[in-house]
Structure formats: C-alpha cells, structure tokens
Amino acid sequence: MLCGMFGYQRIATDGKARLGRLQTPHGEVETPVFMPVGTAGSVKGVTPDQLIAAGAKMILGNTYHLMLRPGAETVARLGGLHRVMAWAGPLLTDSGGYQVFSLAHMRKLSAEGVTFQSHIDGSVVELTPARAVQVQRLLGADVIMQLDECPPGQADRDAVAAAVERSAKWARLCRDAWLEPLGKRGQATFPGAPCHSAQGKYQALFGIQQGGVYADLRAASAAELVELDLPGYAVGGVSVGEGHEALCDVLDATDGLLPGNRPRYLMGVGEPRDIIAAVTRGIDMFDCVLPTRNARNAQAFTWHGRLRLRNARHAEDAAPIDQACDCYACRHYSRGVMRHLFMAKEMLGPTLVTIHNLHFFSTFMAAIREAIAAGTLISSANAWLGAIYEGGDE
C-alpha cells in the first residue's frame, strides 16, 4: 500500500471486469466507481450532504479552473480543496491539460510545458509538469494527474504521435516533481513507494495514456508510463468525439498494456453504455459532467430511458421521475411539479434532477459491482442497456 495510505485491491473478477477497493487517505472506495465532477470547487447545485445521500463516494476537482480562479495558493490558504468543498471523502484533481487544449487560447507548446491565454481574463499563464504537480499539491487532492496533451478526436496521426511523445516526457517530469520533496527522484515503486504529503494528506500520481485511435501509439504511450511505476493509470483522449465503437476499439487495444494491480481510470466518460463497455474491459474509475449538466437541462436518467422534463406531456404527471427510485427528488416531487420548476426557472428544479441523476449513477455502479461479484455482469448489462436505450427519451 502506497505510504500506508494509498493502494488498490482486486477482490473479484467477471471476465475482464474487476471488483476492487481503492484505499485513500480519506477513506476506501469500492470500484468500479463513478466520480461526480466539481469543476470550480463545487458539484453544481448540490451540497456535500446531498452528494453523500445520492451515494457519491469520490469526487473530482478541476485544476485548470481552480488554478485560474481563485488560484491554487488561495485554495491552500483556505485550507485546501477538501475544506473549500466541505467534502471529507476521497478527491481527485485532473491536471488541467484537457482544458488547456479545449478552452484556452493562443497556446504555445514546448517540451517544457504549455503557455496559454486564460479564458477568464486573457492573462498569459504557463503550465509546466512541475507547476501542474505544485498546483495539485496546493489543492491537496488524494489522487493527482500528470500534465498531458489531449489531441482532438479528428487529429491526424502525426499530431497524435507528437502528443504521445510530449505527454510521455511530461509524465516523467511530473513523476520527478511528485517525488522530489522526499529526495527520491527516479525511485518510484508500488506498493510501498513514497508519496508527497500535502496539507497533512498523501497524494498518489496517476499517469495518462494517450494515442487517439491508433493502437500502436496507445501501446507506445502505455509502455512509457509503465516504466515510471506509478500508483495508477488513466486512459485519456477518448471522450473527444470519437464515438462508442472507437472507444471500444481503443480499450480493446489497451487490454494488457496497463498493470493489473493498479487502478485504471477512463477520463471524461459517463454514458451508461460506455461505462459498461469499459468495465467489461477492465476499467475501474470514471468521471463525467453528464449527470449534472444534463440535469441542469431538465434531462433525467432512469432505468427505462431518459425523461425530458420540459416536455408538455409531463405537465400534469403526478408520478415521480422513477417509481423505483428512493432519492429525495423522487420521494417528494412529481414530474409535473419538476416541469413547473423548470418552466418557472426556479433553481430548485436543476437541484432536484441533479440529486436524482447522481443517485441513478451511484445505483447503476452499485448494480455493476454486485453483478461482477455474482458473475452475471454480461447478462445483467444486456438487460439494463436494453431497457435504458430502448426506452428512449420521453
């Protein structure tokens, strides 16, 4: 176990699907797990108590946004991101690389890092691997991510190859920065490796595989990362417009490339069919804005399809979002009332649907874990996805 504070234990398997347990300084997390996204230090529209009631176990903060506003140093002075979010459970921060390449302007890349123009005030910001680690150290998350270059889904092979090479160099620099405070540069091992203490907490660094849809580039990226012997590994660059089939192809090509005794994290993926496809290919961790963003647009996830609560058909519907759901929203409010709240632009509407959607995703992941333990994942998943997608939108 890393530092006596971080580790991964595989408990059971069903094919390539893994039931596991992730140990962090802020508690254990059963995997596979879905992490709600708290971009700017808050999961939009809900309190930590509501997150816990919805079943959330681990959440994600965004390095890019917090670095620009209010600033990592400010977050540290306020007690760290756990204190800022009033969240006592496990927390992961991404490196900010995806946002640099999707939101920022006037980017200038080099082997040392990236210089970009802030989308908030136009200021010029430099983000290097060492700075990415420093920012995440100040934020104080349990799991931190390497700085990587995430090329768009339509990028050609040469561009993807360059991103793989650059991300590999940055991974090594991030590893060195992560270990440097302990004077253990270049000596990472797992389990038992040192990791840096941030605000009294320990942090584990994950590497990020890139390579787009190119199997050989994926293999080259994974090989570079595995040499670093990091506590965990992520599959990046697969939620950038490539589609479900390409996602499956990438995960098939990744099979066997990442260590089986480390957690595997698929970044930015939250569509239920994508989660199932990834779990059956050995992925343990997921994050996505889908449940919260869709909730703010009046779309609710259910086991029988999605509800679009602004539709007129729901105006006088006294049924809850889902009769089988026991979340706060379904216990206290009808579809008709929720439609009224959205049409009246009341803040309560998005909050209620966010609570429901997060509860759905937590229940969905719990069902996946139970099915892995029972050895019935494939048959169960076929039934679930048939009901979810054949139900369509109402």
- DSSP state letters, 296-317: HTTEEEEBTEEEETTSGGGTT-
The residues, any chain, with a CB within 8 Å of residue 281's CB and separated by 6 or more, are: 16, 248, 251, 252, 254, 255
Q: Tokens 């026991």 identify what position? A: 326
Choose the catalytic residue: 94, 148, 317, 322: 94
Q: Which residue has the higher pLDDT, 103 or 385?
A: 385
* 284 part of the active site: no
253-283 residue pLDDT tens: 999 999 999 999 999 999 999 999 999 999 9
How large is the C-alpha radius of gyration of the chain? 21
Specify the 3-state DSSP secondary structure of 121: coil
Choose the catalytic residue: 142, 274, 287, 317: 287
Model confidence at 348, pLDDT cuts 50, 70, 90, reads very high
| Cα–Cα distances in angstroms (integers) from residue 15 to residues 18, 19, 114, 247, 373, in the given order | 8, 11, 41, 19, 11
369-383 residue pLDDT tens: 999 999 999 999 999
Q: How far apart are CA 142 and CA 93, in angstroms?
A: 8
Of 245, 273, 288, the one marking the end of a domain is 288
Say yes or no: 233 and 131 in one domain. yes
Model confidence at 4, pLDDT cuts 50, 70, 90, reads low
Say yes or no: 132 and 248 in one domain. yes
Say yes or no: 104 and 214 in one domain. yes
pTM for the full model?
0.94
Q: Tokens 């105006």 identify what position? A: 315
Say yes or no: 169 and 249 in one domain. yes
Q: How far apart are CA 40 and CA 70, in angstroms?
A: 9
Say yes or no: 257 and 375 in one domain. no
Say yes or no: 68 and 208 in one domain. yes
State which of 143-157, 237-251, 284-298 shows the largest mean pLDDT.
284-298
Of 272, 288, 304, the one marking the end of a domain is 288
Residue at 50 is within a domain? no
8 A C-beta contact, residue 85 and residue 41:
yes
Give the per-residue pLDDT at 102.
81
Residue at 55 is within a domain? no
Say yes or no: 259 and 318 in one domain. no
Residue range 190-214: mean pLDDT, rounded? 70
Q: How far apart are CA 46 and CA 53, in angstroms?
A: 11
Number of domains in the chain: 2
8 A C-beta contact, residue 296 and residue 44:
yes
The residue range of the domain holding 240 is 7-31+62-288
The residues, any chain, with a CB within 8 Å of residue 229's CB and separated by 6 or more, are: 188, 189, 190, 193
The residues, any chain, with a CB within 8 Å of residue 243's CB and separated by 6 or more, are: none
Q: Tokens 């660094």 identify what position? A: 205
Of 244, 270, 288, the one marking the end of a domain is 288
In the DSSP assignment, the letter for residue 194 is -
Residue at 36 is within a domain? no
* 14 part of the active site: no
Tell me the backbone φ, ψ of residue 303, rounded to 5 degrees.
-70, -5
Q: Is the pLDDT of residue 215 over 50?
A: yes
